């Protein structure tokens, strides 16, 4: 028998949660509207996530506001360039469609 026990695993060691990728489920459906908007956008645009970034951002912001994930600067989640483009006056949809 190994040190981990009959069914494997390290008994007595505490698991370490991942830094990103896993967060509490929205059991109370606090961000359902944002989730449905994002999924609807993906479905209608052939699952091209780049074209649905604004809905993705809105969904993540909702999750942070409702404490369903750690609060982070949106630039750390890949939304920094979008804000810079919008500030420069370029239309994000034109940039993506061309």
Provide the residue ranges of all domains of the chain, joining segments of one domain with +: 27-69
* Spatial CB neighbours of 78, under 8 Å, sequence gap ≥ 6: none
What is the block-wise mean pLDDT of the chain (98 residues), using blocks of 10 residues? 57 67 81 96 94 95 92 90 44 44
Full-model pTM: 0.60
Rounded CA-CA distance 25/42 in Å is: 21
């Amino acid at each position: 028998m190994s040190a981990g026990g009959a069914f494997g695993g390290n008994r007595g060691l505490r698991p370490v949660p991942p830094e990103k990728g896993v967060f509490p489920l929205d059991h109370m459906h606090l961000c359902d509207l944002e989730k449905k908007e994002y999924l609807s956008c993906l479905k209608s645009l052939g699952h091209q996530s780049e074209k649905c970034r604004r809905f993705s951002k809105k969904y993540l912001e909702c999750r942070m506001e409702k404490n369903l994930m750690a609060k982070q600067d949106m630039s750390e989640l890949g939304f920094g360039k979008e804000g810079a483009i919008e500030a420069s006056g370029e239309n994000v949809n034109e940039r993506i469609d061309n």
